[in-house]
Structure 1
Amino acid sequence: MKKTIYIVLTDTGTLLSKAIGMYTRKELNHTSIAFDAELLEMYSFGRKQRHNPFIGGFVKESATEGIFRQATCAVYSCDVTVEEYTRMLDKIRLIEQEKELYKYNFIGLFGVAVNKGIQREHAFFCSQFVAMVVNEGGLQMFNISPSLVQPHHFSQLPSLDPVYEGDLQTYLNQVRGQQERPPIRMGMWKSLAFRLLA
Structure 2
Amino acid sequence: MTEHTGQTEHTGQEGRRPTNDGPKAAARNRAALVAAAREIFSEHGLEAPLSAVARRAGVGQAVLYRHFPDRTAAVAAVLEENVRQVEQAAGTEGVAFADVLGVLTWHLAESAAFIGLLHAVRAGDRSGIRAHALMLSARVESALRRHLPVGHRLSTGEDLVLSVAMVSAAVTGVTREERERRALAAWRLLGVDVGAVRPYGG
Higher normalized contact order (CA 8 Å, seq sep 6+, divided by chain length): 1
Given the two structures, how large is their TM-score scaled by the length of structure 2?
0.26
Whose radius of gyration is greater, 1 or 2?
A: 2
Structure with bigger helix share is: 2
Given the two structures, how large is their TM-score scaled by the length of structure 1?
0.26
